[in-house]
Amino acid sequence: MSRALKIILIVVLFFLYLPIILLIAGSFNTGTDLAVFKEFTFSNYVALFRDRTLIPLLLNSLIVAVLSSVIATALGTAAALGIRSFGKRFRSAVMTVTNIPMTNPDIVTGVSLSLLFVLGGKLFDRSNVLGFTTLLLAHITFNLPYTILSVMPRVTNMDPSLREAAMDLGCTPVQAFFKVVIHEILPGIVSGLLIAFTMSLDDFVISYFVYGPSFATLPIEIYSYTKKPLPPKIYALFTLLFAMLLAVLIVMNIVSGRADKRPRCSNITQLVFRRKDVEKT
């Protein structure tokens, strides 16, 4: 039984990583065809660094991801604190709406936002409404539910007397908030920020409907590349991103593994948790 499980695990991991290995091999290939490995080369990496569009697009992606995750986290944390004090009816109504972008297929979210932006553009007579701003607004919108739902449990579990104690000890409400409340819910904020960041960095479908000519992100460019003969420098970029992510995750895992004394739930698994909780709420 146990051995069979192990075999399945290994086979599935192989299945998950096979295409990635192929792409990495493709980045060192002189030919353009992934299926035929000709000769080993670094020239694709050279081409990548000479490229004037891909690196700026990667920066664009990072800018959108950082901005949208930070704004979504700020808004979402405030919302989570506020929603808690709502009446039961209103709270569940708000949470139902909050869940919409998460349950909705991405394509529907993308389409609905693009229709809104285009209608808004017509209303305010701005022909070039699609661009950085719309992309950012869309990313914040689909990040918000994740941040709210990752902060929410922390807020619910928070002991209200802590805050009162702080105020009794002479803190103003604002001080009490920053000195006590934030500390209590910080893990939720951090994990919300991280999910939002990765979601935003990797998003293609929603961005595809709301980007404009003046500002695109890396996944959109990759999409347009996959409709043409693919230059192998894309594989080089993929490999670099993969290596970076791998490094970040390993470091994060070691750090959180040391900091976290509870047996399960490293930071990473917690992220997943939230995603799952989300489906349930």
Partner 1 sequence: MKKTLLTICAAVALLAFVPFLAFETAAAKPAVINVYNWGQYISDGSDGLLDVNAAFTEATGIEVNYSTYESNESLYTKLKTGGSSYDVIIPSDYMIARLISEGMLQKLNYDNIPNYASIGESFKNTLYDPNNEYSVPYFWGTVGIIYNTRYVDTVTSWDALWDERYSGKILMFDNPRDAFAAAELALGIDVNTEDESDLRAAAELLAAQKPLVQSYVMDQVFDQMERAEAWIAPYYAGDFITMHRENPDLAFCFPEEGFNLYIDAMCIPTSSTNKEAAEAYINFMCSFEAAAANAAYTGYGSPVNGVAESLELTEYERGIAYPSDEILSKGVAYLTLSKEATQIMDSLWLDVRTDASTTSWVTYAVATAAVVIIAAVYLAYRSNKKRKRAAKRRADADGAR
Partner 2 sequence: MRVRGLASPYLAWMSIFIILPLCAVVYYAFTDSVTGEFTLRNIVSIGNYWPILIKSIWLALVSSLICLILGYPVALAIARAKQSRQRFLILLVMLPMSMSFLLRTIAWVSLLEDTGIINNILGKFGISPLPLIRNNGAVVLGMVYNYLPYMILPVYTVLSHIDPSLIEAAKDLGCNRTQVFLKVILPLSVSGIISGVSMVFVPAVSTFYISKKLGGSGTTMIGDVIESQFKTAYNPNLGAAISLVLMVMVFICIGLMERFSGSEEREALM
The residues of the shown chain that bind partner 1, judged by CB under 8 A, are 33, 35, 52-53, 63, 66-67, 70, 74, 114, 117-118, 121-122, 127-132, 134, 182-183, 186, 189-190, 193, 212-216, 224, 227-230, 259
Cβ–Cβ under 8 Å, residues 81 and 181: yes
Q: Which does 66 bind (CB under 5 to 8 A by kind): partner 1, partner 2, none?
A: partner 1
Binding mask 121-140 for partner 2 (x = CB under 8 A): ----------------xx-x
Tokens matching residue 235:
């594989």
Q: Characterise 5 by phi-psi region: left (phi > 0), alpha (psi -120 to 50), beta (else).
A: alpha
272 binds partner 2 (CB under 8 A): yes
Of 40-48, 52-60, 97-105, 121-129: span binding partner 2 (CB under 8 A): 97-105
Among the listed residues 66, 67, 70, 106, the single contact to partner 2 using CB under 8 A = 106
- Segment 57-76, which members bind partner 2 (CB under 8 A)? 75-76
Which of the residues 180 through 219 are near partner 2 (CB under 8 A)?
A: 198, 201-202, 204-205, 209, 218-219
Closer residue to partner 1 (CB): 9 or 248: 248
Q: Please state, in angstroms and rounded to a whole number, the distance separating the CA atoms of residues 67 and 139.
A: 9
38 binds, among partner 2, partner 1, none (CB under 5 to 8 A by kind): none
Q: Which member of 59, 115, 169, 255 binds partner 2 (CB under 8 A)?
A: 115
Q: Point out which span in 5-13, 43-51, 124-132, 182-190 binds partner 2 (CB under 8 A).
A: 5-13
With 0-12 CB in 10 A as exposed, 13-18 as middle and 19+ as buried, what is 112? middle
The least distance separating partner 1 from the CB of residue 221, rounded to whole angstroms, comes to: 9
Half-sphere exposure of residue 142, counting CA atoms within 13 Å on the CB side?
31
H/E run at residue 281: none
Which of partner 2, partner 1, none sits in contact with 253, Cβ below 5 to 8 A by type?
Answer: partner 2
31 binds partner 2 (CB under 8 A): no
Dihedral Cα 218, 221, 225, 231, nearest 10 deg: -50
Nearest approach, Cβ of residue 157 and partner 2 (Å): 16
Instruction: Give me the torsion for CA of 205, 247, 273, 186, rounded to 10°.
Output: -100
Torsion of CA 97, 103, 108, 113, to 10 degrees: 40
Tokens coding 92:
């569940």
Distances (CA, A) of 202 to 50, 56, 114, 139, 198: 24, 16, 19, 11, 6
Instruction: List the structure tokens of 258.
Output: 């040391």
- Contact code string over 77-96 relative to partner 2, x by CB under 8 A: -xx-xxxxxx-------x--
From residue 240 to residue 269, the character string flagging contacts with partner 2 as x (rule: CB under 8 A) and all else as - is -xx--xx--xx--x---x-----xx-x-xx
